[in-house]
Amino acid sequence: MRLAGKNPVTPDGRYFVVRGRLWRMSDPSLPAHEREKLVHELMTARRAVRMARRAADADAQNSGRAAVDRAKRALGERGPVWWGDGSEDYNRRMARNTPYAEWYAGIPELYRSGST
């Protein structure tokens, strides 16, 4: 079984699963240096959101959230899908309610229900 960190990855490599929910993977066709740059931008934006929330600064929080969204779209985790076969996007759906249900039911319980 392929893993993304401690989380199982669907056989087609499009999603990883956390607590039964599918989350879209980054576009594997991105060059490594571009992916690293975008992940850095994403982490910076997430820190900005966290700091703004602690400071109760709604404007900064909104700005940070917009930066998170831009980075996730550039990575292929949101927005148009990065695969070209016309398959539906199941991002953020429960694996058991998608065509991945049989695969999901077959992975070890440790990976299906863990809080990884």
Instruction: Specify the pLDDT at position 52.
Output: 97
pTM of the complete model: 0.86
pLDDT tens digits, one per residue of 96-108:
999 999 999 999 8
The pLDDT > 70 percentage for the chain reads 96
109 burial level (CB within 10 Å; 0-12, 13-18, 19+): exposed
Rounded to 10°, the helix 32-55/58-75 angle is 160
Cα separation, 12 vs 20, in Å, equals 17
pLDDT tens, residue by residue, 55-88: 999 999 999 999 999 999 999 999 999 999 999 9
